[in-house]
Chain A
Amino acid sequence: MIHRIPSGTRDVLPDEMRELRAMTDRVRGVFERAGYGEVYTPALEYENTFQRADMSATRPAYRMFDEHGNVFVLRSDMTVPIARLVASRYAQAEPPHRFSYFAHAYRGVRPQRGQSREFLQAGVELIGAPAPDGTAEVLSILCAALDAAGLRTYRIGVGDASLYPSLLEAVGVPGNRRERILTELVTGDFVGLEQELQSLPLADDALELLLRVPGMRGGPELLEGASGTLREAGTGMRTLHALLAPEVAERIIFDFGLVRSLGYYTGAVFQVYDPAYGVPIGSGGRYDELLGRFGAPLPAVGFALNVERLHIALTGEERGLA
């Protein structure tokens, strides 16, 4: 007799589990050797913990009540629980703090899309280490983790969440128009972006710049080629690039159009790609203001890999799709 499980969840059987376990053990070794001790936090948190973080894209989808009427949520990522943990348990400790995790997160799904309600994330958070050094450290761990997992052809897109907003400000786009423009950029609608920009009274060169930047992606030559306002906006990425070891730098695609919809990102943002798989397999970035919302103002950076997607990309590479 067949008993159903909720859509977006699944059973893992021994053959798959062995492969997943072997892969995550290799990744765990990288995290441990780099000094990122593993933590686990409850899958349930108080709703106001996540409300404090104020993020639009990954708002928790599942709520429940306890016997006193308190509202719990199923965590939608691990970054917010770790921010809470650092603020409450490491208030007296000397930063930086280094943590890793292998934990499930829970998000709402759209029907018929193959999305997961429950998915395993493997990630690190480096708290109390500002840009650019902290960012460079986390990027090098990200590469080491992907190498250890067994991926060969992965690349990491690196952008800056503040780049496009600062360009909009520099060319004098009024604040109330910026949000719609950024929405078009986040959703990847370059046609809509062009329509929004053309409806503004912008000088020709400003319009040209704002239209060109979202499509700019490539190697470090992109950073060197920039001039004027754009060069200034790209300073963060340039200093970051200078700190990266060659084996990390060769994996990076600088991406001026990369913005993340997660509300708490402030500076560098990353996304992990593999040619063997059509969707990103992990992401991360700097969230220098998040800890402050928990009363422990510390700059921070981290990433999370989606373990299931990592496994799909790995099998894809083995089948020669890359």
Chain B
Amino acid sequence: MSALRIAVPRGALLRETLDLLDGIGLDTREVRENDRKLLFEAPGIVTMRPSDVPTYVEAGAADLGITGKDVLMEQSEREVYELADLGYGHCTMVLATAAGEDRAAEALRRLGVVRIATKYPRIAAQYFLETGRQAEIVEVKGSVELAPLTGLAEGIVDLTATGTTLRENGLVIREEIVRCTARLIANRVAHKLKAREIDALLERVHAR
């Protein structure tokens, strides 16, 4: 029904994103039933990793996309329009260290620099720059909670929804950096050339 192509994030945001798309009149049954297929012509949906959504939308390979604010902040140079805060996928970017004495604070005091492991090197670097502290950012791809437990880093900057994973690994939140939710983004050209379709969709999103 829609002439628009929407990039939908697989992973934690998938279910609520599909609920949202159902709510505005797209038929997402095929997407729900099939977790291998990537491109769904009829509802105009393509599925991908959340961090790839801005890439596809910026290039115009998708007209619209849904992804977390954390992804958009980490890729802040992407030239896309951020149209709406979708109000789900609440989570917080935090600085966490091992429970007990704050090893990050100790490192800063005694060594002048703190090692921070993260999947969000740019958000982490920017945060320490803005707070006037020197940090050595160590980028890791997988479970970042491991880093302070093994001595790779004193602290981590990571996204948490409930804090459970942190707690289970003996980490405590020391600072909240920013709160994130799911956002609707648009390609710069599509936003102008498919204005009517995009505005109609946006209206249904807001009316929900």
Contacts and interface: CB of A to CB of B under 8 A. Distances in A.
A277 B60 contact: yes
Given A189-B82, A192-B82, A278-B61, A273 B187 contact: no
A253 interface: yes
A157 B192 CA distance: 8
A275 B187 CA distance: 11
B79 interface: yes
B182 to A, nearest CB: 11
A314 to B, nearest CB: 15
Interface in B16-62: 58-61
Nearest to B77: A110
B: interface residue count bin: 20 to 34
Contacts of B82: 188-192
A155 interface: yes
A: interface residue count bin: 20 to 34
Interface in B181-204: 183, 187-193, 195, 199, 202
Contacts of B191: 217
B127 interface: no
A242 interface: no
B189 A188 contact: no
A155 B188 contact: no
A275 B59 contact: no
A77 interface: no
A279 interface: yes
Max chain B CB contacts within 10 Å: which of A191, A253, A273? A191
Contacts of B85: 191
A155 B193 contact: yes
A279 B189 contact: yes
Given A190-B81, A191-B85, A279 B59 contact: yes
B188 A280 contact: yes
A155 B193 CA distance: 8
Contact of A253 (B59, B188, B192): B192
Contact of A273 (B61, B77, B193, B202): B193
B80 interface: yes
Closest 9 CB pairs of A and B: A278-B60, A188-B81, A189-B82, A273-B189, A191-B85, A278-B59, A191-B82, A217-B195, A275-B193
Interface of A: 110, 113, 155, 157, 188-192, 215, 217-218, 253, 255, 271, 273-275, 277-280
Given A188-B81, A278-B190, 19 more contacts: A110-B77, A155-B192, A157-B192, A188-B80, A192-B82, A217-B192, A253-B192, A253-B195, A255-B192, A271-B192, A273-B189, A275-B189, A277-B60, A278-B59, A278-B188, A279-B60, A279-B189, A280-B188, A280-B189
